[in-house]
Amino acid sequence: MSVITFDMKSCTGCGTCEKDCPMGIIEFTGKSPSIQEKHASSCISCGHCASVCPCESIAMDGSDPGRLDNINPEVLPSAEQMSLGIRARRSVRSFRTTPVQENIVTSLVNTARYAPTSGNSQLVGWTIIRTPGELRRITEHVIDYIRFLAASDDPAAAAYRFADMVKDWEQGQDRIFRGAPAVVLTHAPLSHGAAAVDCAIALTCFDLAAFSAGLGTCWCGFFMMAYRNWEPLRKAIPVPEGHYYFGAMMLGYPSYKYKRIPPRKNAVINWM
Ligand SMILES: Cc1cc2nc3c(=O)[nH]c(=O)nc-3n(C[C@H](O)[C@H](O)[C@H](O)COP(=O)(O)O)c2cc1C
């Protein structure tokens, strides 16, 4: 079922919605748009038609077209501001003990849920680990896996000094979540072909939103490695039936401010 309705009193029949519909399911009879009934089930509810309509004539989910937030181009960040924001973000590995308030995390998630998803599936779910007891319990499981690898001849064990990582943990130093007061996880159904990509994009958007709000983040690769391979860890974190965690990120207030942008490799671009 399509969720789109057209207000024929204000529609001028300009045809922009038809041209912009990614699924090609809007058709015009004269100057009147409608969703072709036989294709209605193909509507992905992306809202492009309502977003692009110059006359505010398209509503989604039966709501008033005027209820969609207007985009004021004057308050959008400039190209330079976006570029600086992306280049100035750093992975933070030293956090203040100040907890991140629930309403702040919720607001960041509410920004990140606008990230693109394959077919507008919007299947990404979020888990926030934020109590010291839960953070410790989960970290212990990651450390158990790292301890297991440290005792093996896995090449990663030497490269990442897993034995030292375990020793540090036993001496009170957390090199998994770096003492972050919260860890943000994204999950999606294993059956969804783009689950991993959707989860990574959502967390990337969360990352940039968090940076712009004065928070620090860092991807948790060691956690993800353990999650993939260590069943006790997988069992330790609830996830909806059929879903799997594809992304993990530390979150907290950074101890330091970064003042310069470190160099990065030149981009390798193949022009064709
Ligand atoms: C998928 C992924 C996993 C990562 N895992 C970790 C991690 O477990 N621990 C850590 O300290 N940094 C981790 N990082 C952060 C990278 O080391 C960091 O992005 C890189 O050194 C560049 O630094 P920058 O993010 O400040 O530009 C990870 C980054 C990515 C993208």
pLDDT digits (tens, 9 = 90+) for 120-174: 999 999 999 999 999 999 999 999 999 999 999 889 899 999 999 999 999 999 9
Identify the pLDDT of residue 2. 64
Identify the pLDDT of residue 68. 87
Pair type for strands 182-189 and 125-129: antiparallel
For a ligand 1 pocket test, name from 186, 218, 224 the mutation site with the most ligand atoms within 8 angstroms of its C-beta.
Answer: 218
For a ligand 1 pocket test, name from 174, 219, 249, 260 the mutation site with the most ligand atoms within 8 angstroms of its C-beta.
Answer: 219
Pair type for strands 58-60 and 125-129: unpaired
Identify the pLDDT of residue 48. 96
For 81-252, which CATH class?
A: alpha beta
Mean per-residue pLDDT over the chain, rounded: 96
The stretch 75-98 carries a mean pLDDT of: 98
Q: Whose CA is nearest to atom 31 of ligand 1?
A: 219
Output the CA–CA distances (angstroms, integers) from residue 141 to 105, 130, 146, 150, 166, in the order listed. Answer: 25, 16, 9, 14, 12
Output the CA–CA distances (angstroms, integers) from residue 234 to 32, 186, 189, 212, in the order listed. Answer: 53, 14, 15, 32
Residue 20 pLDDT > 80: yes
Identify the pLDDT of residue 36. 85
CATH code: domain 4-67 is: 3.30.70.20
Asked if 188 and 243 touch (Cβ cutoff 8 Å), the reply is: yes
Which residues approach ligand 1 with their CB closer than 6 A? 90-91, 93, 218-222
Identify the pLDDT of residue 63. 75
What is d(CA 5, CA 27) in angstroms, rounded to the nearest whole number?
A: 13
Indicate the domain borders of the chain: 4-67, 81-252
Q: How far is the CA of 242 from the centre of ligand 1 (A)?
A: 28
pLDDT digits (tens, 9 = 90+) for 88-101: 999 999 999 999 99
Identify the pLDDT of residue 64. 72
Residue 263 pLDDT > 80: yes
Write the CB contacts of 148 (distance below 8 Å, at least 6 apart in sequence). 230
Q: What is the CA radius of gyration of the chain?
A: 23
pLDDT digits (tens, 9 = 90+) for 164-208: 999 999 999 999 999 999 999 999 999 999 999 999 999 999 999
Percent of all residues in the chain with a pLDDT value above 90, rounded to a whole number = 92
Identify the pLDDT of residue 133. 98
Measured from the Cα of 93, ligand 1's closest atom is 11
**Confidence label for 61 from pLDDT (cuts 50, 70 and 90):** confident
Q: How far is the CA of 93 from the centre of ligand 1 (A)?
A: 9
Percent of all residues in the chain with a pLDDT value above 70, rounded to a whole number = 99
What is d(CA 225, CA 233) in angstroms, rounded to the nearest whole number?
A: 11
What is d(CA 82, CA 271) in angstroms, rounded to the nearest whole number?
A: 24
Identify the pLDDT of residue 1. 55
- Each as own residue / partner, the long-range contacts of residues 214-217 (CB below 8 Å, 24 or more positions apart, any chain) are 214/253, 215/100, 215/104, 215/108, 215/251, 215/252, 215/253, 215/254, 216/90, 216/92, 216/95, 216/250, 216/251, 216/252, 216/253, 216/254, 217/91, 217/92, 217/184, 217/249, 217/250, 217/251
